[in-house]
Amino acid sequence: MRESLRTAAAQLGRSPVFCAGFSGGLDSTVLLDLLAPLCKQEGHALRALHVHHGLSPNADAWERHCAAVCAALRVPLQVAHVVVNRAPRTSLEEEARRARHAAFADVSADVIVLAHHADDQAETVLLQLLRGAGPKGLAGMPPLKSLGPGAATWLQRPLLDFPRTDLLDYAQVRGLQWIEDESNQDDRLKRNFLRNQVAPLLRAGFPAPAQTLARAARHQAEAAQLLDALADLDLAQAAAGAATEVQTLEVAVLVVETLKQHDDTRLKNALRRWLDRAGLRQPSAARLGALLRALRESSNDTRLRWEHEGACVARQKGLLCLELAASGPI
């Protein structure tokens, strides 16, 4: 844990302000109990953030519990009341995640520290595998990453190498008190189904499956880094041929004919990276395939327009341009 704090400080080049995501459950209670004395010893400021989703009838009691824990540890607590979209045909898990990340973005801190552990990582890898994800998705959750392109805040997960049983042992030895979210027993939620139904079967047939899947995630993360490095080279080459006045836009404007020199696999890799660097979520394989076909078939005299998450990829003569709805060409 101490080394994780020092890694974040080295990344920022100064003493960061840390903010622990604190739900009041076992994982985040252990995290906060570890962080409070370490941050004091290392001379770092620490605060906590509790996101009040309003999804449980116990949500107000959870907020009071978190306030009491933080008061005992002398850690300032910020509570973010969020509204989770419950529209039909939406994933409650995904919408709650979006609300949390929006709350994280509003926190005045350098590093948001989250309590994800090896079992969480294993669940993430399995979910991504069942969605048909590639190396970037199968890499799971990184231990340290920026909150988004241009963002000054980082997300850190210092417990990823530790199984939940280690956290439980620590909490029991320390005599910690935590809350239990009743929604964790709802197996209609995909992550809960994996945790409650699939994980016990894996543990019965395989030694330490969570740690093994976490190791597989690290291998995929290395592969994803290599693919990103290749894509960056291809994008730099495609951007180098653009007009001088748009070169400052980096990879937002690309030369179509340069891109089309690559085979489909390499071109899709470059397009994924292009969208990722703009802060957009990855499109499905079918959506990306549609963009690839449109690009292959387009010419200076044909119109190409592909929309994704409020952004638009369009061809302007020999250039492929990425435009964001709020800001125009980037």
What sign for the dihedral angle of Cα 93, 75, 38, 181?
negative
Domain limits, the chain: 2-218, 241-329
Residue 329 reports pLDDT greater than 70? no
Say what the pLDDT of residue 243 is. 56
pLDDT in tens, 55-87: 889 999 999 999 999 999 999 999 999 988 888
β-sheet bridge partners, residue 17: 45
From the list 271, 273, 275, 276, the residue with the least C-alpha distance to 256 is: 271
8 Å CB contact between 116 and 156: no
Q: Say how far apart CA 114 and CA 125 lie, in whole Å.
A: 18
Residue 330 reports pLDDT greater than 60? no
> What residues have CB less than 8 Å from 46, skipping those under 6 apart?
17, 18, 19, 20, 35, 36, 39, 40, 75
* The domain defined by 241-329 carries CATH number 3.30.465: yes
Average pLDDT rounded to a whole number, residues 22-39? 97
Average pLDDT rounded to a whole number, residues 24-37? 97
Percent of all residues in the chain with a pLDDT value above 70, rounded to a whole number: 94
The Cα-based distances of 207 to 140, 202, 296 in angstroms read: 20, 8, 48
What does pTM read for this prediction? 0.86
Question: 2-218 in CATH: which number?
Answer: 3.40.50.620
pLDDT in tens, 248-298: 444 478 999 999 999 999 999 999 999 998 888 889 999 999 999 999 998
From the list 30, 12, 8, 9, the residue with the least C-alpha distance to 21 is: 30
Q: Say how far apart CA 139 and CA 78 lie, in whole Å.
A: 31
Say what the pLDDT of residue 105 is. 84
With b for 16 or more beta-carbon neighbours within 10 A and e for fewer, the 69-108 pattern comes to bbeebebebbebebebeeeeeeebeebbeebbeebbeebe
pLDDT in tens, 121-140: 999 999 999 999 999 999 99
Q: Say how far apart CA 316 and CA 304 lie, in whole Å.
A: 8
Residue 146 reports pLDDT greater than 90? no
